[in-house]
Chain A
Amino acid sequence: DAGVIQSPRHEVTEMGQEVTLRCKPISGHNSLFWYRQTMMRGLELLIYFNNNVPIDDSGMPEDRFSAKMPNASFSTLKIQPSEPRDSAVYFCASSKPGQPYEQYFGPGTRLTVT
């Protein structure tokens, strides 16, 4: 099993640019979660999907953030326009049907906005 795959692993961009983070969940998993990790705020849930449908996006910081899951094997998190305070590590996680709390995390994308 390849595990959760995230790309890119590192992203450096300038303020105002659009950033797209990508995630491929583990095959057969039906829930997908996007988290953000910073030193100040720890690990925060941004949004999660169940069967490709967004269930809870209350953690999305503002309208600059959007997430999609067009099919069971792919999700994107987009930031437009990006700001320096968006610098963080963004994790994607997935879980099996019936076990949403045993989440399998990807390696993360380290985003730096200058």
Chain B
Amino acid sequence: AQSVAQPEDQVNVAEGNPLTVKCTYSVSGNPYLFWYVQYPNRGLQFLLKYITGDNLVKGSYGFEAEFNKSQTSFHLKKPSALVSDSALYFCAVRDKGGGADGLTFGKGTHLIIQP
């Protein structure tokens, strides 16, 4: 079975400061990892993914995430937050060896960027 934990329901960051949204995962094998963002009254939008290769993955809107196998983490980061980054962020995982293509999503973290 695969699972994702996002330990923070909400993260508050001042505009211009770096931000981190935490994610840890559990899979039986090697993971595929993803971050999605959801703006109010909208569907989820794909931000970035880790499949293989470099542990630091760059995605849309200046976001990046670092895959850490020993800590089973895939934290989302951005060097300088914008007010427009305020949204709900979801981490997702899929076991590479799994037979199904469905993703397992975390419960989401509300990111609030204060002007």
Contact = CB atoms under 8 A, between A and B. Distances in A.
A25 interface: no
A103 to B, nearest CB: 7
B90 interface: yes
A105 B41 contact: no
A67 to B, nearest CB: 13
A107 B43 contact: yes
B108 A48 contact: no
A104 interface: yes
Contacts of B104: 45
Contact of A100 (B36, B42, B101): B101
B106 A103 contact: no
A106 B90 CA distance: 16
Interface residues of B, number: 22
| Interface band, chain A | 20 to 34
Nearest to B44: A105
Contacts of B92: 101
Interface in A6-53: 31, 33, 42-43, 45, 48, 50
Contacts of A4: 43
Interface string B37-65: 00001111110010000000000000000
B103 interface: yes
Given A42-B107, A43-B108, A101-B32, A31 B43 contact: no
Given A43-B90, A101-B34, A101-B94, A55 B101 contact: yes
Contact of B106 (A42, A102, A105, A106): A42
Contact of A56 (B42, B45, B100): B100
A58 B31 CA distance: 21
Question: 8 shortest A-B CB distances, which residue pairs?
Answer: A105-B43, A100-B101, A42-B107, A43-B105, A45-B102, A105-B44, A56-B100, A102-B46
Interface of A: 4, 31, 33, 42-43, 45, 48, 50, 55-56, 59, 91, 93, 100-108
13 contacts: A31-B101, A42-B105, A43-B108, A48-B100, A56-B102, A91-B43, A100-B101, A101-B32, A101-B49, A101-B92, A101-B94, A102-B46, A105-B36
